Structure 1
Amino acid sequence: MNSPVRMLFLALLLFTSPLLKGQDSMRVDIPKKLDADLITTVMGDTLKGKVRKVEAEYVTFYMLGERLKQKVQKNSITSILYKDGRVERFSNPLILKKESEGASKIKVTYSEEDVQVYRKIGVVEGYYTGSIRYAYSNGFLEKMAIMDAKERAFKNDPRVKILLIKNCNITRGYGDDPSAVITAEVYYR
């Protein structure tokens, strides 16, 4: 007696299951066709190129459109999305220079409107120089120089509340270490 009811229930479930979709389902859209491998760094930057070798400590690759071989430490990479769709994830995040507690409270802006209620007390420069042996994105160089500017501003005057970035100069030369210099106005309330 239970058998026909059970068969009907299974048939109903079989025909309706393709129509059901869970509320918690999540879809990640991966590009249909990649023209290069995508390397994502711990700073959130994406490097496009062709991965040649993944070693114990380094990933060797060529940037898209360049013939110069680049090396980046594996601990500065979160994942590699290969051209064929494979994904390789790395769980060893780069240990970045930590900001002091005071410097971490300083806000950074690029807009003059954000500093209208503050008083300007000076100008500060922040510096960061990378190594020619590694690949750095401009965003990473800028972020590290801003971190240095915040530390310098806080060390000079603990009342600092906000930095207004006025200029960012990124230098990349053949045979030179990549570097960034930030010039910022310093404000307090």
Structure 2
Amino acid sequence: PSAAVDQNAFAVTKATAAKYNLTKISDLAPIASQLVLGAGPECPTRPYCQPGLQSVYGLHFKSFVSLGVTDGASTRVAFKNGSIDVGLVFSSDGDLNAQGLVVLQDDKHLEAADNVVPILRSAVATNEAKNVLNEISAKLTTSDLVTMNSQVQLQHQDPDAVAKAWLEQHNFGM
């Protein structure tokens, strides 16, 4: 697998992060009782969401707001309208910075890493293909995913062109 991950993460607005000096989830402990958590409707029962935040980090939020489908868009709207203070996001979303959100470091490793793994049919899985995919995986980072997703989501660049540019930048001639 690659070092690059696309996993669930918890974020706050830049203003909230600055106000309370937040960089990691454990920083929420002294103030969680003042904050509203927002996520999909499964969060109150999902071990890696609200129950995990309670058992691993000792966080007990003021309240929970169900955001419907955990698709990112609902979370961004809830942050914008002020209905949540802490929200579940995806770590590789390309527009988190543009939306004024700060992903808090999961310093106690509540969320399992969802490493990016290439998958291909065995009929085309030659040794050469495997070697190239392993080399690409070794170079791909979460930061690369965020950058490429931003280029596609915010700058409306063609996904194929973005991927090709990344490959060329990392000396994988196309």
TM-score normalised by length of structure 2: 0.27
Structure (1 or 2) with the greater strand fraction: 1
* Higher relative contact order structure (alpha carbons within 8 Å, sequence separation ≥ 6): 2
Structure (1 or 2) with the greater helix fraction: 2
